[in-house]
Amino acid sequence: IRNFVDGNYEICNSERYSAVINRAKDSISRKVDQVFFACFFIRSLRSVLGDLFGPYYVKIPDENWPTFLAKKPARLPKQSEHWFDLWMHGDCALSAPGIHLCGGKLPGLEKAILTFWKQHCSVCSKEGATLEFGGKMFHYPCAYQKGF
């Protein structure tokens, strides 16, 4: 606490304390606080595929905002990327090309999902198709349903 000549007081925090507080505030402003407990590949919680695994944290650029996972807020913090926590079925993730499990992490996930979200499934027409058969794209459970 500092006492100024005019009788006013000011509370001064240590530099380390201020750094921790600023880091926490920055983290909160960057993280999108909308958890959607569904497989981000097939956008469903209910499936014969079993439990969801996650969360896996990824940065998504503004222009690739996944509106099927979270409604885009009218006012976003001024930055070009936002954090999402994603959940997925193990079979959906491990059957997707370019994604593999390595020490509890999924290297290549951020890059791959942007491609997957542009691909529509030939069965259900939703985004997130990862598997290609005969020139057509499928979600893992949709391909299984069709006998691939």
Q: Is 131 helix (H, G, I), strand (E, B) or coil?
A: strand
Query: What's the rounded Cα separation, in Å, for the pair 58 and 61?
Result: 10
57 and 85 Cβ atoms separated by less than 8 Å: yes
| Per-residue pLDDT tens over the stretch 97-146 | 988 888 888 888 888 988 998 999 999 999 889 999 999 999 999 998 88
Q: Where are the alpha helices (DSSP H) in 4-145?
A: 15-30, 90-94, 109-116, 140-145
Q: What is the pTM of this model?
A: 0.66
Q: Where are the alpha helices (DSSP H) in the chain?
A: 15-30, 90-94, 109-116, 140-145
| Per-residue pLDDT tens over the stretch 51-108 | 888 888 888 887 787 777 777 777 766 666 778 888 888 888 888 998 888 888 888 8
Query: What's the rounded Cα separation, in Å, for the pair 118 and 130?
Result: 10
Radius of gyration of the chain (CA): 21
